[in-house]
Structures are given as structure tokens and as C-alpha cells.
Amino acid sequence: MKQRTILPAALLLSVTLAACGQSGSPTAHTSQVLTLTLQGNETPADLRARYGGEIVAFKPQAHLAIVRTDRPQLQTLGLGSSSETNEGRVRAQAGAVIWTKAGAVIWTKAPAVIWTKAGAVIWTKATFEMMPENSGNWVSAGLDAAQTRLTHLGSGVKVAVIDTGADTALFAGSLAPQSEWRDWVDGDTLPDEPGTPADAGFGHGTGITSTILQMSPGATILPLRVLGTNGGGDVADVAAAIVYAADSGSQVINLSLGTSDPSPAIEAAIQYAESLNVLVVTSSGNDGATQLDYPARGAQGDPQRLAVGSVGLDGTVSAFSNTGAGLSVFAPGEGIYSPAPQDYGVYWSGTSQSAAVVTGALALGLGEQHGPAQTRAALLSSTASVPGQGAGRLNLAAYSALLNP
């Protein structure tokens, strides 16, 4: 089996996006993004005249507007408003990657109904039939017990994956209507992943989507592309996608991405999504640091956000996983196998995958008609202890037993 190792995306410096591989007008890159607290009856025209640029989000009911601009802001922004650097600040939390061609071709044949086919066999004893390569990780987390007990398998739950896009052909039947898809990188509605395995971001969103559907085969995925093939993206695009996902009825948003510094625009977008009762799952970062990347760092004290770190098969914290204040839970994140575009298969090791595991677990609970607060509380109160850590390790057997005794 031929394998190729790609450098961890966590080593990437801030990068700018390049539009490639699809038709459409790429989103304009601008130097600043403004997060504005609306004071009264301002209109989008008022904001364009005052600040120039493009209105990314305009939510007067939430007193929120987000604007991308290159115009120098000579006037003082209003109370509660802010300006920050926009370009290339966000990166995928991809971690280490091993590619293979062997066997992956099965995922591009006879539409991928394996994800949602009624009555499909998912487990044979301790073997995960959908992807046997993940049996060890999923048994260690108790997924076999959870999928036996939570029989709707996430059906009826919409999950937004804000990432590098997805190979939409792989997940036919498991995606939201095509009219809802969006790509902020190329400025169109086709969020498929261009590129090759030599590109740091290639396949990342497809891998995240696959992991979520392995947890919750009945869930519906809304693919939203904000990161380019190099794994980098702009703050304004991420904020816009979060707002869009919430407005599109997503119940969970997966953010397997991060920045080293807080972003007022992303924070405001997350708070807007949470005001609509959306659960937001974030990855802690892959630097082996004792401080979380952002927006995971903002999970501390937030009742609807989860920050997820990685553990290996033996339940010990992965060497690459960021830990520290705000971390909510650990989940498997080493050697997670998924299909990838162009008939590749890939083993991912990173907190991106850990976040996707938790996102899928939440979808399992929500699919049983439990509310977001109850589902989140059950997941966090059922964890197994991790020595030396304040957060516990995902225990899906105990979680499912709490939800459906």
C-alpha cells in the first residue's frame, strides 16, 4: 500500500486564500473586518456609505452587522464595535495526514447510500462495517452501544460543516438541498473540494463530513466552504458562514478550524447562532499547547459551545492536542479513517476529527428528540475521567443510556 505523509496543517503560518478549481467570483480579500453594534435604525446603505466594502451580515434584531472593508477607519467606531485583521487568519485543524489509494474507490461507486440506507448493518460484533478501519476508535468511545440505543441515528438533524468544502458526490442522500450549499472562497454555490493531496487543506472537509456521518448516519449535512486548498481562510467568510448556517436551520455547527487570537467577528457570529439555540462544536488545536486556539477558547462559560481535544485508543491525551481552560471534552482523534476526493482514503490525526466525533454524538442525541441543552448536558456529564485533566473523555455508551434509559 503506497502511503504519503502530509505536513500537519498546524504548522501553517497565516495564509491568504486563492480561488481555484471552480467557476464563480471569489470573495474579495480585504484587510479589515468590522463588527458593529447597531444602535438604531441603520440600514445596509448607511453602513456602506460610512465604512465602504461589503456587508457580510446584517441582523438588526440582534443589533449586529459585520462588514469587510479596505477603507481606513478614521472615525471612532461605536460602543461595542471593533475592527480586526481579516485575511488568512483562520486555518483548518488538520493535524497529521496519511493518504492511500487502496480500497477508497468503493466510496465513489453506487451512490453513497451506505450512509443512510434503512436497515443497513452498521456493526458486526466489534467491527464497524461502514469503515472497519475505525472499529478500534469507535469501540473505545462506545459508539456501538450508542447506535444500538439511539436508533434514529441522527435522523432529522441538520449539521453545518464550515470547512474546506466536501466531495458532495460521496455523500449523495446525506446533504441538505443543493440550493442551500455555499462556497465563500469561490463565490458560488458549489462547495466541492478542488486540489490534490499535496495541498494542505485538501480533503479536510470531506473527512469531517465522513466522521460526523459515521457517528450519525441519518444526519443531514450542510456543506459550507470557507477554507481554501491551503487550509487557510478569512475571518469574514467564517463569520458569514456561521450566521448563514444558523439562519438555515442548522442545529449543530462544526468548526474544525481556529486562529491563535480571538476574533470579535467570529465571536459575534457564534453568539448570534447560539441565540437561535444552535450548538457549536470547536477543535482545541494541534500545537500541544496548554492554551486552546480560538474559537475553542471561548467555550469557557458558554453553555452552547464545546471545545474538543484529542485522545488515542488508550484514552490518554494526544501529544498534539491543545489543552487548558475552556476545554469541554476529549474524543478520539488519532488515525481516524475517511474517504477523500479523487478516490483517496485518508487517516487523519488531529483535534479536527475529535470535534467531528462530538458533533456526530450530539446529532445522535438530538435525533432522539432531546433538546440541545439536555443533549449537551448528557454528553458532558457521562464522560470518563482523564488523569490530570479537568475535562473528561467521551463515553457514548453512558451518554446514550442517560438520554434513553
| Single-letter amino acid, residue 36 | L
- Given the residues 83, 140, 204, 328, the one annotated as active site: 204
Assess whether 81 carries a catalytic annotation: no
Catalytic hit among 352, 354, 382, 400: 352
Answer yes or no: 70 catalytic: no
The question of whether 352 is a catalytic residue gets the answer yes
Please pick, among 163, 192, 287, 302, the residue that the annotation labels catalytic.
Answer: 163
Task: Report yes or no: 334 and 313 within 8 Å, Cβ to Cβ.
Answer: yes
Tell me which residues are annotated as active site. 163, 204, 352
